Copies of this chain bind each other. A is one copy, B any other.
């Protein structure tokens, strides 16, 4: 049995769900793959805890469920211990960086935590788009220089292995077109508007259901979809694209009459992210509310579906879609990435 000591930054939606999943699966993963995944350190926004012998998952989850912080983990927790300082100090094989996207604050603390871990020779797995959008090329260089792996399959379209498909299964191909529906809430909002609900009602409803962040601009103005497109383009096409390369249109200007007409035709609107090869072989990058007919491979995703399509020269047109009844798949991409590093 090989022990993998990992540190976890972020104990919100993704981090806590990962711990729940691991609690259920730890013994089985040991039997199946000969790996013992041992949480040795964790940080949330209020502090951190570190125990070289391992933290108890049940106790970590009990603290979070009680609305408390990991900082109050008995004996090993410390209030105010920042994620970056923790990672600079901890002895671990791998960092799971699951803090929230924070482009307003230059991707911190996620970006510095990732940088520090890579510099210290730790593998990094992260579903956090912030560091990948802001410093894709730098972080990959840093990983290569330190002989470690950096995985981020969860940054795009939740549990869908969109990056893995493009990077590994389409090797050798020219990719002529990428189309992706990588954001759930914009599709939900447009479906509800088409069904006759008012804009404000729909947004309130989405907030109540926890699918829309307090700062709704990130989703509704297409920043989230654009960030995912930038990561796909860097990872799959190998191009150093940034957010400013994306022609971005959010959903606030979409016409109600268009939404209703689309519904009548049997299709629907989705915030579609596209990278289309041009005659000069460059790619035009866009995020735009788009009508998808029923015939389109991404045209029937439903309210819990996301997808990606690759049009290629030698592998035909490949489409993958995921139905996520809850956010668990987005959290478990960290397991996919982690196992991919060690197996």
Contact = CB atoms under 8 A, between A and B. Distances in A.
Contacts of A165: 161, 165, 320
* Residue of A33, A169, A317, A323 with highest tally of chain B CB at under 10 A: A169
Contacts of A328: 314, 316
A5 interface: no
Contacts of A268: none
Interface string A299-324: 01000000000000011111111111
B336 A172 contact: yes
A314 B294 contact: no
A323 B319 CA distance: 8
Residue among A33, A171, A319 with the highest chain B CB neighbour number at 10 A: A171
A172 B315 contact: no
B314 A172 contact: no
Interface string A118-130: 0000000000000
A316 B329 contact: yes
A205 to B, nearest CB: 22
Contacts of A160: 318
A316 to B, nearest CB: 4
Contact-size category for A: 35 or more
A104 interface: no
A253 interface: no
A294 B335 CA distance: 33
Contacts of A335: 171-172, 314
A168 to B, nearest CB: 7
Interface of A: 21, 25, 29, 32-33, 158-161, 164-165, 168-173, 294-295, 297, 300, 314-325, 328-329, 332, 335-336, 339-340, 343
Contacts of A158: 316
A324 B319 CA distance: 12
Nearest to A321: B319
Majority-rule SS of A interface residues: mixed
A212 to B, nearest CB: 20
A13 to B, nearest CB: 15
A115 to B, nearest CB: 26
B317 A323 contact: yes
A329 B314 CA distance: 6
Contacts of A318: 159-161, 320-322
A312 to B, nearest CB: 8
A321 B343 CA distance: 27
A319 B320 contact: yes
Given A171-B339, A172-B29, A322 B316 contact: yes
A279 B169 CA distance: 34
B332 A314 contact: yes
A171 B322 contact: no
Nearest to A330: B316
Nearest to A320: B320
Contacts of A21: 314
A53 to B, nearest CB: 24
29 contacts: A25-B172, A29-B172, A32-B172, A158-B316, A159-B315, A161-B165, A161-B169, A161-B318, A164-B168, A164-B169, A171-B336, A171-B339, A171-B343, A172-B336, A172-B339, A295-B300, A297-B321, A297-B323, A315-B322, A315-B332, A315-B336, A316-B323, A316-B324, A316-B329, A318-B321, A319-B320, A319-B322, A319-B323, A320-B321
